[in-house]
Amino acid sequence: MMKTKRDDGNSEDRRGDSKRQKVVGWPSSPSEEPLVPYNDDEDDERRALGRVVGGEQDGEARSEGNAQGVKSEEDEDDNDDLYGQGSFMGKQNRQVEVRRDCPYLDTVNRQVLDFDFERFCSVSLSNLNVYACLVCGKYYQGRGKKSHAYTHSLEAGHHVYINLRTEKVYCLPDGYEINDPSLDDIRHVLNPRFTREQVEQLDKNKQWSRALDGSDYLPGMVGLNNIQKTDFVNVTIQSLMRVTPLRNFFLIPENYQHCKSPLVHRFGELTRKIWHARNFKGQVSPHEFLQAVMKASKKRFRIGVQSEPVEFMSWLLNTLHADLRTSKKSSSIIHKCFQGELEVVKETQNKAITEKKESGEEQNGAPKITDGVIEKRNAGAETYRMPFLMLGLDLPEPPLFKDVMEKNIIPQVPLFNILKKFDGETVTTTVRPPARMRYRVTRLPQYLILHMGRFTRNNFFREKNPTLVNFPVKNLELKDYIPLPAPTKENEKLRTKYDLIANIVHDGKPDEGFYRVFVQRKSEELWYEMQDLHVSETLPQMVALSEAYMQIYEQQQ
């Protein structure tokens, strides 16, 4: 009933603006392009500019139900299309009618809503001032009379739209704002929020959530969509989600609001979506995060090209740290969680190195010159300390020949054997430059990342080492196997026991295989196997039987 009244009130304007009304539906000639925003009439531009420059204020009082007031608001929405939403043009005297009773709320279809994808208008591909149609789920720009959302509301009869930035809901073509608490669940899915109290309770929560299709899911244990060969990203994200301080930091946007990096904000959004208990569906698509990764890594990691999780993990941690720190010397949540310290002793080999020189210039003191060939002897050890975010472990070579039974036996090695690389005595030889290296851990991080080098590339193809590593799922005691430094402060106990929280595994051939990850759920101490969208509970014994590729251990407190 209310709607007809309003139409009558506006009928005069409609007759006066009949030409303009014709244009909204379809352009009468190819030269006119009313459907494209930012190509509005010059008169509108001049009017808007004149209003700002001249400081012209409307003296008329505008009541909520005043049809004239609604019309002028819509005119200003045309300017909204022209200048984008944060603009100062035509904003001085803007009033939007707010109503609680919208007759179209029952047309909202939550099944089609998906806010995981980039926020671009589906017609103009612009990311300014984008609205989502809550009836069909598509994104459109603007809500003024010449905008794509307005046109869609007339053509398709879809009337309820949400602004993806401000989260305000509007009814088009009428143009009033809808204030109804029944839409709060949509706002929560669009932008999940956590209070500090909720964040602290996350690891104690044993409750399952229910998606719109009736399926149950565990917040934090949701599958990630494999867009195209992006399983290396999915397993990295799933394992990082188990690192409690890192997760808690990214769940609250105030912690990194100073940061201008899109990668940091997309990673925070993805973290909040994974741990949100009120999602409409039981999986998340990391599409926006992948776009930010492609841009920040200059397409080193991209959709459709398989990469190694260890390279991606290393790049991601270093980039997040660089973006989050406020000055060159300041730390970040990344370094607080993962940074340890190594003491490196580098011995250069004692042999004559000959270099052909055309001129006999002096290098490193006074070398011996014979027929343009310089001979110099290098000797000595160099000791220095370096920080690390992850430790690389070398696997023993698999057997080259088959045994009596005509089968290649898959060798097994205990984790403690390959950890001896860091005992300060075992020598690791590097080829370029030729040197003998010894490593010793001088500071343990709160979260220890271990990487087993399974892949090697020779001149012809990529090879995979199938050696199984035997490791404990709980109580990895490091001090029994590698020498550790004494605690810096008195009365401080050195924490050397670690528990496994994530284990990334590679299955299949080197170039065709796929990655999956075993992760632990803290609230019930259960293990789950995750491969893209598939999440299933598993036994701790199964975790230890897999071809481990990368592991994250948590220090016992």
- Distance separating the N- and C-terminal Cα atoms of the chain: 66
Number of domains in the chain: 3
Task: Judge whether 159 lies within some domain.
Answer: yes
- On the question of pLDDT at 139 being above 90, the answer is yes
Task: Judge whether 541 lies within some domain.
Answer: yes
Task: Judge whether 66 lies within some domain.
Answer: no
The model's pTM: 0.76
What is the average pLDDT across 284-306? Answer: 91
CA-CA distances (angstroms) from residue 292 to 264, 268, 306? Answer: 9, 12, 17
* Total number of residues shown for the chain: 557
What percentage of the chain has pLDDT greater than the value 90? 32
Task: Judge whether 148 lies within some domain.
Answer: yes
Do 144 and 201 have their domain in common? no
477 SS3 class: strand
Helix/strand/coil percentages in the chain, nearest 5: 30, 25, 45
pLDDT for residue 450: 93
Do 170 and 235 have their domain in common? no
Q: How far is Cα 506 from Cα 439, in angstroms, rounded to an integer?
A: 27
- 75-106 pLDDT, tens per residue? 444 444 444 444 444 444 568 889 888 899 99
Do 307 and 215 have their domain in common? yes
Give me the residue label for tokens 């589906």: 122
pLDDT for residue 350: 59
Query: Which distant-in-sequence residues (6+ apart) come within 8 Å of 544 by Cβ?
Result: 470, 471, 472, 473
What is the average pLDDT across 184-209? Answer: 88
pLDDT for residue 15: 46
Domain span including residue 199: 193-324
- 223-261 pLDDT, tens per residue? 898 888 899 999 999 999 999 999 999 999 998 888 899
- 382-427 pLDDT, tens per residue? 898 999 999 999 888 877 776 666 666 778 888 888 888 888 888 8
Query: Which distant-in-sequence residues (6+ apart) come within 8 Å of 66 by Cβ?
Result: none
Q: What is the mean pLDDT of the chain?
A: 78
Do 342 and 488 have their domain in common? yes
Paired tokens of 246? 């890192």
Task: Judge whether 174 lies within some domain.
Answer: yes
> CATH number of the domain that 122 lies in?
3.30.40.10
> CATH number of the domain that 487 lies in?
3.90.70.10
Do 182 and 250 have their domain in common? no
pLDDT band at 267 (very low <50, low <70, confident <90, very high): very high
- On the question of pLDDT at 369 being above 60, the answer is no
pLDDT for residue 406: 61
Do 540 and 438 have their domain in common? yes
Under 8 Å between Cβ of 373 and 358: no
Do 390 and 249 have their domain in common? no
